[in-house]
Amino acid sequence: MLIAGNWKMFRGPDPAALVGLDAVICPSYTRLRDCVEAGLTTFAQNVHWEWEGAYTGEIAAPLLLELGVVGSLVGHSERRQYFGETDETVAKRVRAALDAGLRVIACVGETQHEREGGETEEVLRRQLAVLEPHPELVLAYEPVWAIGTGRTATPEMAQEAHAFIKSQLDAPVLYGGSVKPDNAAALLSQPDVDGALVGGASLEAGSLKAICETAARIPS
């Protein structure tokens, strides 16, 4: 069971409050060093596919590794929605990061419009088709309509999507989208839910800890 906290473009809690927690933390770039120094398992929120180069505003895998960062999120829906990330650029980032020795959490998920149009499986199939299994690759199913909205997928919806995802690509699958201490147990108990990618609730040390404690009680 893997719990990852995505702090997005928020400052996030004091890393000292999370010492010893069995979780991955994905802070802003300026807080990576603090998290690494606190001994947290620290991931970036994105990573470029080139080792170095003229790519203003991007970050390269070797620079992350030099800092002690051990992995990265890739293809978060906010990157896809607001910053032009495509299935092709996601694939390039994932491949390069894994080749460099980083762990990767690659995010997939459908929009509200796509779900209502009955296109969920088609969208997931397309997003997953560009990825290949790798021992350090974890997927996150994050239905876009459930992110930051307080609208969580029901445990049954999550289970159905996770089972479909695993039929396409053999990898552990985290659920993400409004995971909170009070809904974590029901979601994490689903047989194909292997953990959670937590946004808003990870900004508060107490609620991230509560979710980790719930995860630790669920037999894998």
- Least distance from ligand PGA to the Cβ atom of residue 182, Å: 13
Centre a 10 Å sphere on the Cβ of residue 87 and count the other Cβ atoms it contains: 16
CA angle 201, 110, 146 (to 5 degrees): 25
- Least distance from ligand PGA to the Cβ atom of residue 151, Å: 9
For residues 9 and 54, which CB has a smaller minimum distance to ligand PGA in the complex? 9
Cα separation values, 147 from 42, 48, 175, 178, 207, Å: 22, 24, 11, 6, 17
Q: Answer yes or no: 142 catalytic.
A: yes
Q: Which residue is nearest to ligand PGA (CB)?
A: 199
Q: Is 6 in the site for ligand PGA (CB under 6 A)?
A: yes
The residues in 171-200 that bind ligand PGA, with binding defined as CB under 6 A, are 176-179, 197-200
Q: Answer yes or no: 76 catalytic.
A: yes
Pairwise CA distance, residues 115 & 161, whole Å? 11
Pairwise CA distance, residues 43 & 134, whole Å? 17
Pairwise CA distance, residues 181 & 208, whole Å? 8
**Candidate list 147, 158, 193, 211; residue touching ligand PGA; CB under 6 A:** 147
Catalytic residue among 78, 85, 110, 142: 142
Point out the residues that are catalytic.
76, 142
- Binding residues (CB under 6 A) for ligand PGA: these are 6, 142, 147-148, 176-179, 197-201
